[in-house]
Amino acid sequence: MSSPAEPRIIFTPSGRRGRVPRGTTVLEAARMVGADLASLCGGRGICGRCQMTPVFGTFAKHGISVGPEALSEWSETESAYRRRRGLEPDRRLGCMAKVCGDLLVDVPPESQTHRQVVRKDVDVGKLRLDPVTTLHYVITPPSTLEEAAGDAQRLLRALAEQWGLTEVGVRAEMLGTLQEALREGRGKVTAAVRDGREVVAVWPGFSEVVLGVAVDVGSTTIAGHLADLTTGEILASEGLMNPQVRLGEDLMSRVSYAALNEDGGARLTSLVREAVNELCAGLVESAGAAPESVLEMVVVGNPIMHHLFLGLDVRPLGEAPFTLATDGPVEVSASRVGVDLADAARVYLLPCIAGHVGADAAGMILAERPYESEEITLLCDIGTNAEIVLGNSERLLAASSPTGPALEGAQISSGQRAAPGAIERVRIDPDTLEPRIRVIGIDPWSDEPGFSALEAETQVTGICGSGIIEALSELAAAGVITADGLIDGRAAERSRRVVETGRTFSYILWDQGSEVHVTQNDVRAVQLAKAALLAGARLLMDHLGTDHVDRIRLAGAFGSHLSASHSMALGLIPEISQEGASSAGNAAGTGALMTLLSGECRREIEQITERVEKIETAIEPRFQEHFVEAMSFPGARRSRDGEGRVNQRRSRRGTSRRTRERRR
Amino acid sequence: MSSPAEPRIIFTPSGRRGRVPRGTTVLEAARMVGADLASLCGGRGICGRCQMTPVFGTFAKHGISVGPEALSEWSETESAYRRRRGLEPDRRLGCMAKVCGDLLVDVPPESQTHRQVVRKDVDVGKLRLDPVTTLHYVITPPSTLEEAAGDAQRLLRALAEQWGLTEVGVRAEMLGTLQEALREGRGKVTAAVRDGREVVAVWPGFSEVVLGVAVDVGSTTIAGHLADLTTGEILASEGLMNPQVRLGEDLMSRVSYAALNEDGGARLTSLVREAVNELCAGLVESAGAAPESVLEMVVVGNPIMHHLFLGLDVRPLGEAPFTLATDGPVEVSASRVGVDLADAARVYLLPCIAGHVGADAAGMILAERPYESEEITLLCDIGTNAEIVLGNSERLLAASSPTGPALEGAQISSGQRAAPGAIERVRIDPDTLEPRIRVIGIDPWSDEPGFSALEAETQVTGICGSGIIEALSELAAAGVITADGLIDGRAAERSRRVVETGRTFSYILWDQGSEVHVTQNDVRAVQLAKAALLAGARLLMDHLGTDHVDRIRLAGAFGSHLSASHSMALGLIPEISQEGASSAGNAAGTGALMTLLSGECRREIEQITERVEKIETAIEPRFQEHFVEAMSFPGARRSRDGEGRVNQRRSRRGTSRRTRERRR
């Protein structure tokens, strides 16, 4: 059978096709027709990233017939690769197999440069792997007396000739490493190229490891992922406490610390940097990797963490007009911010949106992509300040609302962080007013077998944010708390758990060993917090001109653990159908990971944040109105007074539908 | 007299002209018609850089008549400026004086942005001042709750609106300084912008000081200038010894030190960096300036100094093929190379040409600009290696030749560096063979009144490079040294100064107290050195296809002190008319200064060095031929043997013309 001089080649799943000269390798053919076939070693049978599967048979649709003779014979290099690293029986190396006749080639996902990253543990959705830093193995010809050229110039020529990278330069800081790598590798080196513009690392010989770290610097915890930038694989995930906590529990107290103490800001900066450095070291160690392999880092955080990490003055963020040093994306060398990674490692910080709406909110927006749908989405990241984003493909609005520390368990009589011993779930029988609780670290509910034994070990130590939300919501539903937030003394007649304490009443949630009460002050603190959050959301709804939202996503450590139904019953968030509200997990961290794995995501969020309209709650008179209104507990069982007024207001908003808690 | 709505305005000396709306300031008018009128403060009557002189009278050539009413009245701001900083009677501030009628404006040199820098002490020729870093005073509007924007974004907007700089970014490292400057200056700040692309420094309020340092890192001495980048003025010039000398006198011994000692290279690097840092500190102190004002630095040096300063491995430069880490221009932050200047200060190193022809040669080429003329110019920078450049507007060739240390006074029996006590000039009476000498640090010649008294103080300690060249040239002319470089024993009959020492003869140049002899070994050492230099020059002439050069410029510490006529008589350089050969001073340092003051010069030399053809003496068989031939002393007086052969050879070259030393 004679074969044409220029056989046809078709790549799936991309569908790219064309005619290529006989004898062209499949890798070259992929480049010629614009199909996506990976390679780190530049077609030398080393990296195995160009694996593909020839598909044999007659394909009427394409008008071709593919037989075994369509590819060159199995090569020595392929045998060597199979012995060394294994190769599935139907696979060939694209850089070795040559086109000899019409051909259909299937490119498996892991051989695609811009492959989709889909993972369960961190929901990055369908992400095209497109890291800012890429690896390129090159053979650099030696300099000779006859044709002398500098190391840098020879490397750049090799990158241009062997990889088509014509716009690259070499940082001066890299030259020493380059000298050494060329000598050790005898001209064979792997170069890491950033943005297609700059050689940022060079290793002798073939190397396929380039890693990145994505870190979410929260005011309480700092969490990060270590990822392989050539595969998108997450190699390790860890978290640690933000050591700044000892200088101030909440954000504003840290700003005060910076303002009132000489070098206070510097001290906060070195604390957070040390913690981030420790986190990175831990991630690298967990994965058994080398810090020098980590070339990329992404950081998200609220504006105060963002500024402290960068060593910037946070005092302007403590007072109106809350001026950021920059609201754009920031890039800085890792060493400059005290993180020990590769010499040339760069840290990318996502843009901040406003003085109270930080890079973490940008990360949340990217992770949730409300701008891709016509549905109106409300995103809330709840902490001392709630960062609230509302909108859809047409408009996006953002605000922050001063929720205060109550929702994180602070300023609550028995409040504590979400840690073992904290009550995190509460159900109260509306008739007997007897509670059932669930405690972090103890699997069964308090009325289930085994609880007592486990509680004896762990012991109930307090109540965390999600617990207090549920407790209040349940107490309101049971008629113990009135619509305007009073613990109704009349409930004391129904249960020994409602007790008078001075001029107000408390509810005894737990009294076996330790005591956890819900006091009138606790109710007031939560009332202020939830009113701030809801008022913020309503203000954005006003600005968007809508009286409903289609979807609510609760992000952050607190938000993710929140029961959506209790939150709505309490009036923490606008009421929508129960399915519409869900947890977004650590959306900020997910957004960080996305920008670590994809340069396209960086450009996307940079453009999106420029479009976000900032609403400043502090200067909006309507915020105060909404706030006052949002003080009420919509889920409160009818009680004689207060009821009418509240319902009247709420019906004006057209959101009088109640969502009843489905009992477990 | 009615004046038109759009009067004509003509600027001299540029000749730019046009019509502008009445009421336009002269500064605005200059921008509108493209005339060159400086301003640092953005037209706020602060900097005074836009001073100009209105010229009154009738100008038939231009068809205009200019009266005092052509400009707006003297303003308060101008009075304030005159009180504060002085203003010549005929001058006005271009930013305050408004065009009210047809106008002729003379822009004095110091008000031109791209002014020509002409100075005597350092010959930079006519240089257009065009520094890479420029100053821009801006008024940055505050951020407000209604219209919030980051500090960086507001500064960039101000730079775009007030200076037309639309492509600028702010380095992350600058953000903290920016916060502080905006606060202190209440929004009024001066920004230093590099390359029109990057804000590299910010000061509160109006600032007009931005400085730069140009440093020539020689193997023996390190010399530098501190210049004001807004005026081109040289504020200080200093030099110090290269402390590496203690680890190796000449370059190759330093390469050996780096090769043979662990951390040898690192030690050499820190020595040179410390010295450069010390030099910079000294320059800044001499000028009473602040190190933070220094934002630019330029460094030239031979390839080994270049690499050691950058902390690169010099071992490849010690053996064929003499591979540079880079032959392109290098930019690196000053802090990275251990120099304490402004935080954002950048160091620019001129490109190297080849493994033995460094950034100093590039500086020399820029300073001498042989590529601008059709004349064939030979540039020589003579040290342990001579860097030789030959060519004209059509072609430029470069080579280095291994002259060895003899010409620097090393390997000479009484040799020493050019320092007080060194014999630097020698005349020998051809009949009596009695010498006259001149000594560094002693003004009169040895036969002039006052010499003895001064010599008693200073004392003759040895002979430096230029002294040995003159001594040998004079001895050859007097017939003491033969054409093939032998001290002729027969001369002992004519003078007690020629004495037998073992199997050879010496000439006693000085014997009063100390002794300075010229030995046969000294002659051989110089003979090898000068043969290398001349052979290199002749090799380049071969490659250029020429048997003559029009102009010879001798650069470097040694070259500048050399007597051109003696050098030619000795056969150190090709013979040309005496006027054709001259000293170029420290041409490398001048080139460095030029690139400090002008970005255009950087681009120019980067382009030129790419064009330079590198000739590698080591692999050219003709180099050996030229070398053997160049061993002879063309200026030797006829002696019975050797004469015929030498003349025969020299006449083959067509350069038999002799230049006789004009006696002082």
What residue has token string 């002799």? B658
**Above 90 in pLDDT, residue B647?**
no
Residue of chain A whose Cα is closest to the Cα of B173: A332
Q: Is the pLDDT of residue A660 over 50?
A: no
B8 vs B16: CA distance, rounded Å? 11
Whether residue A323 and residue B145 make contact (CB cut-off 8 A), yes or no, is no
Backbone angles phi, psi at A405, to 5 degrees: -85, 0
Structure tokens at B306: 């270049």
Q: Which chain B residue is nearest to residue A618, measuring alpha carbons? A: B145
Q: In the structure, what pLDDT confidence band is assigned to residue B643 with cuts at 50, 70 and 90?
A: very low
Which of A150, A352, A616 is the closest to B327 by Cβ? A150
Tell me the torsion sign for CA atoms B459, B462, B466, B472: positive
Residue B397 has pLDDT above 90, yes or no: yes
B456, two tokens: 């008693």
User: CA–CA distance from A144 to each of A570, B320, B619 (Å)?
Assistant: 78, 8, 11
Which of A35, A65, A68, A36 has its CA nearest to residue A54? A68
Nearest chain A Cα to B332, which residue?
A: A172
Q: Which residue among A176, A332, A616 sits closest to B172, beta carbon to beta carbon?
A: A332
User: Could you give the CA distance from residue B564 to residue B659 in angstroms, rounded to a whole number?
Assistant: 10
Q: What share of chain A is helix, strand, coil (3-state, %, to 5)?
A: 35, 25, 40
What pLDDT shows up at residue A116? 63
d(CA A512, CA A404): 30
Tokens of B528: 């090898």
**Does A150 contact B179 at a Cβ distance shorter than 8 Å?**
no
Most confident by average pLDDT, A439-448, B32-41, B118-127: A439-448
**Closest C-alpha among A477, A473, A645 to residue A573:** A473
For A329, which residue in chain B has the nearest alpha carbon?
Answer: B172
Q: Which residues of B touch A175 (CB under 8 A)?
A: 310, 312, 325-326, 330
Q: What is the pLDDT of residue A14?
A: 85
Residue from A143, A177, A141 nearest B355 by CA = A143
Residue A499 DSSP label: E
Instruction: Number of helices (H) and strands (E) in chain A: give both, helices first.
Output: 17, 31
How high does pLDDT run on average in chain B?
89
pLDDT band at residue A439, thresholds of 50, 70 and 90? Answer: very high
Residue A646 has pLDDT above 50, yes or no: no
Question: Rounded to an integer, what is the distance from CA A143 to the centroid of its chain?
Answer: 47
Q: B11 with B17: CB under 8 angstroms? A: yes
Alpha-carbon dihedral angle through residues B26, B28, B33, B39, given to the nearest 10 degrees:
90
Task: Determine, for residues B311 and A149 on separate chains, whether the beta-carbon distance falls below 8 Å.
Answer: no
Cβ-defined contact of A150 to B328 (cutoff 8 Å)? yes
Q: B652 or A50: whose pLDDT is higher?
A: A50
CA dihedral sign of residues B80, B84, B87, B93: negative
pLDDT tens-digit series, residues B238-259: 988 899 988 887 788 899 999 9
Both tokens assigned to B582: 């001259």
With pLDDT > 70 as the criterion, what percentage of chain A qualifies?
A: 94
Per-residue burial over B589-602, b = 16 or more CB atoms within 10 Å of its CB, e = otherwise:
bbbbbbbbbbbbbb
Pair A481, A524: CB distance under 8 Å? no
Chain A contact residues (CB < 8 Å to B):
142-146, 148-153, 170, 172-173, 175-176, 178-180, 183, 310-313, 316, 320-328, 330-332, 336, 352, 354-355, 614, 616, 618-619
Residue B638 in this model has a pLDDT that exceeds 60: no
Q: Which helix (H) or strand (E) holds B159?
A: helix B151-163
SS3 B9: strand
Burial class (CB in 10 A: 0-12, 13-18, 19+), B456: exposed
Q: Contact, B109 vs B115, CB < 8 A?
A: yes
* Mean pLDDT value across chain A: 89
The pLDDT value recorded for residue B121 is 59
B325:A175 CB<8 A: yes
Say whether B325 and A179 touch across the interface (CB within 8 A). yes
Give the C-alpha separation, B605 to B366, whole Å: 6
Asked if residues A482 and A465 have their Cβ atoms less than 8 Å apart, the reply is no
Residue contact B323–A151, C-beta within 8 A: yes
User: Cβ contact (<8 Å) for B151 and A324?
Assistant: yes
Question: Number of CB pairs < 8 Å for A and B?
Answer: 130
Task: Report the range of poorest mean pLDDT among A232-246, B85-99, B104-118.
Answer: B104-118
What local confidence, expressed as pLDDT, does residue B646 receive? 35
Taking CA atoms, B426 is separated from B151, B434, B471, in Å, by 68, 10, 5
B642 band by pLDDT with thresholds 50, 70 and 90: very low
Do B327 and A149 count as a contact with CB atoms less than 8 A apart? yes
Q: Do A145 and B320 touch (CB under 8 A)?
A: yes
Percentage of the residues of chain B whose pLDDT score is greater than 90: 69
Residue A634 — very low, low, confident or very high, per pLDDT cuts 50/70/90?
confident
Q: How far is CA A368 from the centre of its chain?
A: 9
Which ranges in A428-464 belong to alpha helices (H)?
451-458
Pairing mode, if any, of strands B377-382 and B551-555? parallel
pLDDT in tens, A399-432: 998 887 788 777 889 988 788 899 999 999 999 9
Residue A51 one-letter amino acid = Q
Longest CA–CA separation in chain A, Å: 103
Measured in angstroms, the CA of B154 and the nearest CA of chain A are apart by 9
The answer to whether the CB of A291 falls within 8 A of the CB of A341 is yes
Which band of pLDDT confidence, cut at 50, 70 and 90, is reported for residue A1? very low
Question: B151–A176: do the CB atoms touch at under 8 Å?
Answer: no
Q: What is the pLDDT of residue B123?
A: 66
pLDDT digits (tens, 9 = 90+) for B552-588: 999 987 777 888 889 998 999 998 988 899 888 889 9
Q: From chain A, pick out residues whose CB is under 8 angstroms from the CB of B616.
A: 145-146, 148
Nearest CB among B176, B614, B619 relative to A312 is that of B176
ipTM of this complex? 0.82
Report the gap between the CA of B362 and the closest CA in chain A (Å): 16
In chain A, residues with a C-beta closer than 8 Å to the C-beta of B152 are: 325-328
Q: Do B321 and A355 touch (CB under 8 A)?
A: no
Of B152, B183, B324, the CB nearest to A150: B324
- The string of pLDDT tens digits covering residues A529-565 is 999 999 999 999 999 999 999 999 999 877 778 888 8
| C-beta atoms of A152 and B326 within 8 A | yes
Expressed in angstroms, the distance from the first to the final Cα of chain A is 72
Q: What are the chain B neighbours of A144 within 8 Å (beta carbons)?
A: 321
Instruction: Decide if B150 and A324 are in contact by the 8 Å CB cutoff.
Output: yes
Contacts of B493 (CB under 8 A, 6+ apart): none
Is the pLDDT confidence value at A612 over 90?
yes
Q: Give the pLDDT band (50/70/90) at residue B117.
A: low
Q: On the CB side of A512, how many CA atoms lie within 13 Å of its CA?
A: 11
Supply the pLDDT for residue A118.
54
CA angle A20, A23, A27 (to 5 degrees): 70
**Segment A360-375, tens digit of pLDDT:** 999 999 999 999 999 9
Measure in Å the smallest separation between the Cα of B334 and chain A Cα atoms: 12
Please indicate whether, in this complex, the C-beta atoms of B321 and A150 are within 8 angstroms of each other.
no
Cβ-nearest to B614 among A148, A175, A355 = A148
Q: Which amino acid is at B510?
A: W
Instruction: Name the minimum distance, in Å, from the CA of B74 to any CA of chain A.
Output: 41
Pairing between strand A188-194 and A198-204?
antiparallel
CB contacts, 8 Å: A618 with chain B:
145
Predicted pLDDT at B404? 79
* Band of residue A635 on the pLDDT scale cut at 50, 70, 90: confident
pLDDT higher than 80, residue B125: no
- Tell me the C-alpha distance between A10 and A22, whole Å: 14
Partners of A181 on chain B (C-beta within 8 Å) are none
Chain B: residue whose CA lies nearest to A351: B150
Cβ distance B312 to A175 less than 8 Å, yes or no, reads yes
Question: How far A627 CA sits from the closest chain B CA (Å)?
Answer: 20
The tally of CA atoms less than 13 A away on the side-chain side of residue A652 is: 9
pLDDT of res. B556 = 81
Q: Identify all chain B residues contacting A355, using CB atoms and an 8 Å cutoff.
A: 148
In angstroms, the Cα distances linking A330 to A272, A309, B173 are: 17, 12, 10
pLDDT digits (tens, 9 = 90+) for A35-56: 889 888 888 888 898 999 999 9
Q: Rounded to an integer, what distance in angstroms lies between the CA atom of residue B437 and that of residue B453?
A: 15
Contacts of B323 in chain A (CB under 8 A): 142-143, 148, 150-151
Q: For residue A330, which residues of chain B lie inside 8 Å, CB to CB? A: 172, 175
CA-to-CA separations, A555 to A250, A331, A367, in angstroms, rounded: 18, 26, 10
What confidence tier does A207 reach under pLDDT thresholds 50, 70, 90? very high
Place of tokens 């052969």: B645
Chain A residues in contact with B618 (beta carbon < 8 A): 145
pLDDT-based confidence at residue A63 (cuts at 50, 70, 90): confident
Higher pLDDT pick, A473 / B221: A473
B328–A152: do the CB atoms touch at under 8 Å?
A: yes
Mutate to test the interface with B, among A183, A199, A326, A615 (most CBs of B within 10 A): A326
pLDDT for res A245? 83
Position B60 pLDDT exceeds 50: yes
Q: Tell which residue, A451, A430, A429, has the closest CA to residue A441.
A: A451
- Residue B127 — φ and ψ, nearest 5°? -110, 130
Q: Do A179 and B316 touch (CB under 8 A)?
A: yes
Chain A residues touching residue B310 (CB < 8 angstroms):
172, 175-176
Is the Cβ pair B311, A176 closer than 8 Å? Answer: yes
- CB–CB contact B327 A355 (8 Å): no
CA A540 to chain centre: 23
Which range (A84-93, A337-346, B263-272, B642-651) has the least confidence?
A: B642-651
8 Å CB contact of B151 and A311:
no
Assign A442 to helix, strand or coil: coil
* pLDDT tens digits, one per residue of A101-160: 999 999 988 888 776 665 555 666 678 889 999 999 999 999 998 888 999 999 999 999
Q: Are the beta carbons of B383 and B558 closer than 8 angstroms?
A: yes
- In B, minimum Cα distance to A616 occurs at B145
Contact across the interface for A321 and B143, Cβ inside 8 Å: yes
Number of H helices, E strands in chain B: 17, 31
Rounded to the nearest 5 percent, the helix, strand and coil shares of chain B are 35, 25, 40
Structure confidence at residue B472 (pLDDT): 95
A633 pLDDT above the threshold of 70:
yes
Q: Could you tell me which residues come within 8 angstroms of residue A121 by beta carbon, excluding any fewer than 6 positions away?
A: A234, A237
Cβ-based neighbours of B662, under 8 Å, separated by 6 or more: B565, B578
Return d(Cα A222, Cα A115) in angstroms, integer: 29
pLDDT value at position B148?
87
* A648 — pLDDT class (breaks 50, 70, 90): very low
Distance in Å, alpha carbon of B318 to nearest chain A alpha carbon:
13
